[in-house]
Amino acid sequence: MKDQLNNIKIQAEKELTSITSIQELENLRVKYLGKKGELTSVLRGMGALSAEERPVTGQLANEIRAFLENRIDSARDELVKNERGLKLEKEVIDVTIPGKRKMLGRKHPLTIALDEIKDVFLGMGYEIAEGPEIELDYYNFEALNIPKNHPARDVQDTFYINDNIVLRTQTSPVQIRVMESKKPPIKIICPGRVYRSDEVDATHSPIFHQVEGLVVDKGVTMGDLIGTLQVFAKALFGENSKIRLRPHHFPFTEPSAEVDVSCWSCGGTGCRVCKNEGWIEILGAGMVHPKVLETCGIDPEVYSGFAFGLGVERTAMGRLNIDDMRLLYENDIRFLKQF
């Protein structure tokens, strides 16, 4: 029996050396020390021993059990330590690896220009109004005193959806919508997209953007219009910018003017950007036509107003030194990144 016990010890020790996981270790413990384990079953046979042999063998068995328990415990400690080490190794964070840089988006040049335009007018107490891009003929033309045979209605310029509905060719219809729904004093700007059946080139696009302005109150004069536009030009194109009004015709303003700003590139002496003119046209403006006020139920004997419509693309190109309008729509990131 002593030999049996010693063999169990040798065998168990040998197996212990090849254990690689806690599960294997547990299996080994059950195999030798468990209720039905080898050591246990040897001890069960102790009844057959003589009275002298029994305590000696019993002691040996207890020593071996204690020895094996000890070895198994320390083997378990070792395994746990290794497993934790492996896990730590796997989860190690290399703080020296360079970070992944996130691409930061930025404002489109048109949005930059539009935000600056809005800032100027909000600063002067204007509110922002909006209107639909798919517009009734009535608002886009009729109510703006553009009669049926006016050249602006020519199918070449206007995208018609049907006889009554167009893609708005200007932001001016918002003037009518605002005056219909609100009594003076009115002081609004309306930024928005407009559509004209134009060929694409360096200065034209069938879709572009305007900012409409409308002020209606008692005693509003042309002087107010000019002063307002001067503030706008200086804010966007610099303190030395000047504006110039050229007489023009719009059916919905009287008098009407086309407004130029002194060239942002040469300051007025003449260069390639302004085609040697020294001036660049950026907007149309005028005093709201009495007929238009009447159409909207506003008494032209009591109230007067001015309106203007400025091109956002033109403004952005001037403000940011962009010489081809197409660049604004191509969405080439190398171009857009510069602003």
Name residues whose C-beta falls within 8 Å of residue 248's C-beta, 6 or more positions apart in sequence: 256, 257, 258, 284, 286
**Contact window for ligand PHE (CB under 6 A) among 97-105, 216-224, 228-236, 248-256:** 248-256
**Contact window for ligand PHE (CB under 6 A) among 7-15, 44-52, 53-61, 307-315:** 307-315
Calpha distance 90→335 (Å, rounded): 44
Answer yes or no whether residue 172 interacts with ligand PHE by CB under 6 A: yes
Answer yes or no whether residue 309 interacts with ligand PHE by CB under 6 A: yes
Mark 295-315 as b/e (b = at least 16 C-beta within 10 Å). Answer: bbebeeeebbbbbbbbbbbbb
Report yes or no: 16 and 28 within 8 Å, Cβ to Cβ. yes
Calpha distance 251→271 (Å, rounded): 33
In 3D space, the residue among 318, 204, 325, 339 whose CA is nearest the CA of residue 266 turns out to be 318
What are the tokens at 279? Answer: 């001036």
Residue closest to ligand PHE, measured at CB: 309
How close are the terminal C-alpha atoms of the chain, in Å? Answer: 92
Tell me which of 158, 170, 228, 262 binds ligand PHE, using CB under 6 A: 170
Answer yes or no whether residue 285 interacts with ligand PHE by CB under 6 A: yes
Closer to ligand PHE by CB, 145 or 253: give it.
Answer: 253
Calpha distance 297→70 (Å, rounded): 103
The conformation of residue 164, written as its DSSP 8-state character, comes to S
Closer to ligand PHE by CB, 25 or 113: give it.
Answer: 113
Answer yes or no whether residue 131 interacts with ligand PHE by CB under 6 A: no
Answer yes or no whether residue 32 interacts with ligand PHE by CB under 6 A: no
**Contact window for ligand PHE (CB under 6 A) among 92-100, 224-232, 233-241, 279-287:** 279-287
Closer to ligand PHE by CB, 184 or 284: give it.
Answer: 284
What are the CA-CA distances from residue 28 to residues 11, 104, 189 (Å)? 11, 59, 85
Answer yes or no whether residue 158 interacts with ligand PHE by CB under 6 A: no
**Contact window for ligand PHE (CB under 6 A) among 87-95, 267-275, 283-291, 318-326:** 283-291
Closer to ligand PHE by CB, 309 or 318: give it.
Answer: 309
Answer yes or no whether residue 250 interacts with ligand PHE by CB under 6 A: yes
Rounded least distance, CB 196 to ligand PHE, Å: 9
* Angle separating helix axes 2-17 and 53-90, nearest 10 degrees: 10
Rounded least distance, CB 261 to ligand PHE, Å: 15
Residues binding ligand PHE: number (CB under 6 A): 11
247, containing H or E segment: strand 243-250
Tell me which of 19, 167, 308, 312 binds ligand PHE, using CB under 6 A: 308
What are the CA-CA distances from residue 296 to residues 24, 87, 222, 299 (Å)? 92, 77, 21, 9
**Contact window for ligand PHE (CB under 6 A) among 59-67, 306-314, 316-324, 327-335:** 306-314
Residues at the site binding ligand PHE, with contacts judged by CB under 6 A: 170, 172, 250, 253, 256, 284-286, 307-309
